[in-house]
Amino acid sequence: MNVKKTLKKAIRYAIGLAMDLAIKTRLGRYFFEQLLSTALSRTVSIQYNGINLTFAVPNSMNHFRVETFSTKEPETLEWIDRMERGSVIWDIGANVGLYSCYAAKGRNCTVMAFEPSVFNLELLARNIFLNDLTDKVIMVPIPLSDRLTVSTLNMSMTDWGGAMSTFGKEYSYDAKPLVKVFEFRTLGLSMDDAVARLDIAQPDYIKMDVDGIEHLILKGGLLVLSKVRGVLIEINEEFTEQSVDSFKYLSEAGLELVEKRHSEMFTGFPVFNQIWRRTGSV
């Protein structure tokens, strides 16, 4: 494994060096621009449950996301399939919008896609456009937190489709220190602020995957949570503060935990998608 990582690092360094040299010439800059344009224009179309979707795939990470669309989080797709048509869903940590697009196209949902990564926003916009969902999926390029604040979005990668970033904290999904490669200051707000200050529609459902600060976002959304029908949230059971606090806020909001699952590809991994619903609902 160490040999493979060393080899990848050496290859990445060599490619980077070659690109640095190439862009110093007019021909090199033209060649690089054509490569970039070609990468951004690549798309892959898939069909799931009778729904046709098309996604931009400029790199291997996005190829993987699309190739594993039906197998990486089958519980998320099943949860979306059970929603009432025309529901309002907040996709908090939308990434490049695979589930946002599926909910909008498959269930005619209005989706508020919260995604603060400047590297993911371009692909999120492209995917919304490619699927003719401009009127159904609204991009919200603001991180959510427990309160209205200005803080730092700390990022562990800058790839298109990358994850593992956190707003206002310097730990990752497992409570360990985040290995930061990029950061920028931005405005963050709570779920309750999003409704009260920005007049964003109250959600019927919330999907949340933000790699570590789920409990803080829940803390800042107690009024919103008191009205939702259901929540799907990614929880690391070994991250005690996240797990315990999230359970507390969701339970106090009148929701009950009905299921927790993850794909077979994550066997042995302590992170699960928890599915919560309004107590007494079907």
Distance CA 233, CA 92 (A): 9
Decide if pLDDT at 129 tops 70. yes
Decide if pLDDT at 260 tops 70. yes
The residue ranking higher by pLDDT, 10 or 57, is 57
Confidence grade of residue 9 (pLDDT, cut at 50, 70, 90): low
The structure's pTM equals: 0.87
Which amino acid does the sequence have at 64? Answer: F
Tell me: do 66 and 136 sit in the same domain. yes
pLDDT tens, position by position, 91-106: 999 999 999 999 999 9
Tell me: do 247 and 159 sit in the same domain. yes
pLDDT tens, position by position, 152-175: 999 999 998 888 899 999 998 888
Q: What is the 3-state secondary structure (H, E, C) of the chain?
A: CHHHHHHHHHHHHHHHHHHHHHCCCHHHHHHHHHHHHHHHHCEEEEEECCEEEEEECCCHHHHHHHHCCCCCCHHHHHHHHCCCCCCEEEEECCCCCHHHHHHHHHHCCEEEEECCCHHHHHHHHHHHHHCCCCCCEEEECCCECCCCEEEEEEECCCCCCCCCEEECCCECCCCCECCCCEEEEEEEECHHHHHHCCCCCCCCEEEECCCCCHHHHHHCCHHHHCCCCEEEEEEECCCHHHHHHHHHHHHHCCEEEEEEECCHHHCCCCEEEEEEEECCCC
The residue ranking higher by pLDDT, 211 or 246, is 246
Decide if pLDDT at 11 tops 90. no
pLDDT of residue 278: 93
- When the pLDDT of each residue in the chain is averaged and rounded to a whole number, the result is 90
Tell me: do 26 and 131 sit in the same domain. no
Whichever domain contains 114, its CATH number is 3.40.50.150
Closest CA to 36 of 58, 11, 20: 58
| Full domain range(s) for residue 249 | 48-278
The residue ranking higher by pLDDT, 8 or 256, is 256
Tell me: do 177 and 262 sit in the same domain. yes
pLDDT of residue 91: 98
Tell me: do 2 and 91 sit in the same domain. no
- Count of domains observed in the chain: 2
Decide if pLDDT at 221 tops 80. yes
The residue ranking higher by pLDDT, 42 or 88, is 88
Which residues have a Cβ under 8 Å from the Cβ of 64 and sit 6 or more positions away?
Answer: none
Please give the share of the chain, as a percent, with pLDDT higher than 70.
85
- The structure tokens 């077979």 sit at 264
Confidence grade of residue 116 (pLDDT, cut at 50, 70, 90): very high
Tell me: do 167 and 265 sit in the same domain. yes
Decide if pLDDT at 145 tops 70. yes
Q: Give the chain's length.
A: 282
